[in-house]
Structure 1
Amino acid sequence: MSKSNFTALIIDDEQPARAVVRSFLSKHPHILIAGECSNGFEALKSIQDLKPDLIFLDIQMPKVSGLELLEVLDDVPVVVFSTAFDQYALKAFEMSAVDYLLKPYSQTRFDQAMEKAMDKLKKGEKTNAAELIKKHSSQSNTPLQRVVVKTGNKMHVIPVHKIRYIEASEDYVMIYAENSRHLKAQTMRYYEEHLDPMQFVRIHRSYIVNINFVERLEPYDKDTYVAIMTQGQRLKISRNGYKKLKETLNF
């Protein structure tokens, strides 16, 4: 038996789909299968523990999608996507993922993806997850329904209606939920563009608020205001932010 040079993790919520990858990989003895995962929570732990070189990642999974999993990884392996939904087969993926397997696919198509994957692995290249997610997000017009965050080694899913406000924090944002806060490597612009504008308003370059958690507005200085949140936080409102609030709240 040939010595395996690289390790792979198969991540898919459907057992038959994992079996297909396992079968097709048997023709590639230089890849050792380190494990299989049926959801994103299992996958996060396995990636942290096993540190695979390559992952075969389903995009549509319950609880946490493949893209949401990538958002919380500190070190992203080489990625080959698989999915049954071709609306995700966008040119955006060509730049960052090794390849994109549209189910059902053949051994020949799988082998083509493996050629690309091996090329990246031998060069020691990693997946640029931030760029991949950014490009995918720019293609999506659907408002965010949830945000996935990581605390320590654990992943949490926050429904957007539980987000009170978001604060800019250099190259990150701090997301304040009902009784917690989470640092995330994304931009204010991303959330401004992907949260429902009827519920979330950019009131200042540093703040986006959920209007359901705004208790009242108070004058701060000449022609300026602060938003008093339901838990007492006082957030500055810019002139443009005040205008947006008036339009959204219809006052």
Structure 2
Amino acid sequence: MIQTLIIDDEPLAASIVAEYLKEFPQFELLEICQDGLQGIKAIQKYKPDLIFLDVQMPKITGFEMLELLDEAPSVIFTTAFDEYALKAFDSKAIDYLLKPFSKDRFNQAIERFLNQSSVEDQSNINHLAEKSNRLVVRVKNEIKIISIKDVTYFEAEDDYIAIHTKNGKFLKKMTMKSLEEALDPSKFARVHRSYLVNLNEVTQIEPYERENFLVKLRNGEQVPVSKSGYSRLRQVLGL
């Protein structure tokens, strides 16, 4: 049996997916979750092969929910908003169903899933930070939402990014490259291969060992700046 979950805060939309899914006896619907936090718990409990996932939900979005998973199942997005389609396919989604979708369109998505040679391991899905205003991290058994404006700087730590904020340090599993692409370049600058700084927190740039520099931040901390990072920093700050 192919185990599935529906994660959608709209009862009618969830019931339609459940009804359409009955036409495929090889699928077992384990649970219908009404928000992303319930979805995380259900995924950790059942480890399903496929989830039907809404994007805009209370508490955290569908994309933010996926960010918090160590291993993500295959995903078919079900949403009323077409502007997330590109991001969905960038995250290797099986399909993107735009509400209201027909039974035929639903069947196409199922066939697309079934026609894969195998259920892909999508544990490497890299969902980017929302450019607008926040990051979502897991702290033990709790979900914490961090406002981007509260971030002082980001630091690469092995497979994780250390998020240094005014309220402490948090870890998130993602790459520096993907983080840099997700952030607003007018607000954050890659000053070193291992550091991204909030430009609003920069108070001073000073020389340090040959062609390297140091950035001083409002909180008194110092961050190393490479030669290329210095050129980038000067360009962004208009120096």
- Give the TM-score normalised by structure 1: 0.81
Q: Conserved in 1, the CA contact under 8 Å of 2:88 and 2:96?
A: no
Task: Give the drift of 1:69.
Answer: 1.6
3-state DSSP class of the match of 1:101?
strand
Amino acid at match of 2:213: Y
Asked if 1:210 is matched to 2:198, the reply is yes
Asked if 1:189 is matched to 2:189, the reply is no
Q: Conserved in 2, the CA contact under 8 Å of 1:143 and 1:195?
A: yes
Asked if 1:48 is matched to 2:36, the reply is no
> Which of 12, 19, 23 is the aligned partner of 2:15?
19
Amino acid at match of 2:85: A
- Structure whose residues are more often helix by fraction: 1
Unaligned stretches of 5+ residues in structure 1: none
Q: CA RMSD in A?
A: 2.8
1:1-251 aligned within 5 A: 5-90=1-86, 93=89, 96-120=92-116, 124-128=118-122, 130-131=124-125, 133=127, 143-222=131-210, 224-251=212-239
- Give the TM-score normalised by structure 2: 0.85
Task: Give the drift of 1:119.
Answer: 4.3
Pick closer, same or farther for the CA change 1:112–1:94 going to 2, 3 Å: farther
Amino acid at match of 1:37: C
Q: Conserved in 2, the CA contact under 8 Å of 1:96 and 1:129?
A: no
Q: Distance in 2 between matches of 1:26 and 1:143?
A: 38
Unaligned stretches of 5+ residues in structure 2: none
3-state DSSP class of the match of 1:96?
coil
Q: Conserved in 1, the CA contact under 8 Å of 2:211 and 2:226?
A: no
Task: Give the drift of 1:161.
Answer: 0.6
